[in-house]
Amino acid sequence: MWYPPKVTQAPSEPISVADAKRHCVVLHDDDDGLFAALIVAARDYVERYCNTPMATQTIEVKCDTFCDFRRLPVAPVQSIVSIEYVSTDGTDATVDVVDFEPRLDGLEASILPAYGKQWPIARHGSRIKLTATVGYESLPPAIRHAMLLWIAEAYESRENTALPAWTALDALLCNYRRGA
């Protein structure tokens, strides 16, 4: 069983204020703070909709057993930083990088023992901690476009007079959704 991830290195936003302003055809700097906030909100919305981190960030996530590594709870994964556990004698230990094989295949990431290796035995009742760099190195064009549409709609509809029709967002993001 995986426990909720903890972000240890916050993401840098995947869309710049200048790009958002260009998309909205805004030529002044008066609303730069608003655009920065809308970018964060758009990333948060898309991450929750897709159940996927969009921007590069480092996370720690814990699980109960090594068999949980057959499907990582977060994807895409760029790299594995470390796998830590408590050994049967009670000491903290780290799985050597040559002892596991990351399979970081898009939205279905997993980690397997390397050929001829097996997972170590962790102390009963302890948790295994995976530290990984997750998120897209560069956003896929459809996700980037969906975020820019969200930002433009939020910028234009600041008074919240009517609920927007998000069918374009659904169409752009549906291929990037990850089931829980």
3-state secondary structure of 170: helix
Predicted pLDDT of residue 175: 81
pLDDT tens column, 72-130: 999 999 999 999 999 999 999 999 999 999 999 888 999 999 999 999 999 999 999 99
How many Å apart are CA 38 and CA 52, to the nearest integer? 19
Predicted pLDDT of residue 170: 78
Please tell me which residue, 167 or 128, carries the higher pLDDT value.
128
Per residue, the 3-state secondary structure of 11-40, as one string, reads CCCCCCHHHHHHHHCCCCCCCHHHHHHHHH
Please work out, in degrees rounded to the nearest 5, the angle formed at the alpha carbon of residue 138 by the alpha carbons of 136 and 141.
105
**Looking at residues 57-68, what average pLDDT do you find?**
96
Domain ranges of the chain: 13-53+139-176, 57-134
Checking if the pLDDT of 165 tops 80, the result is: no
Q: What is the pTM of this model?
A: 0.84
How many Å apart are CA 114 and CA 31, to the nearest integer? 52
Average pLDDT in the chain: 92
Structurally, at CATH architecture level, domain 13-53+139-176 sits in: Orthogonal Bundle (1.10)
pLDDT band at 39 (very low <50, low <70, confident <90, very high): very high
Percent of the chain with pLDDT over 90: 81
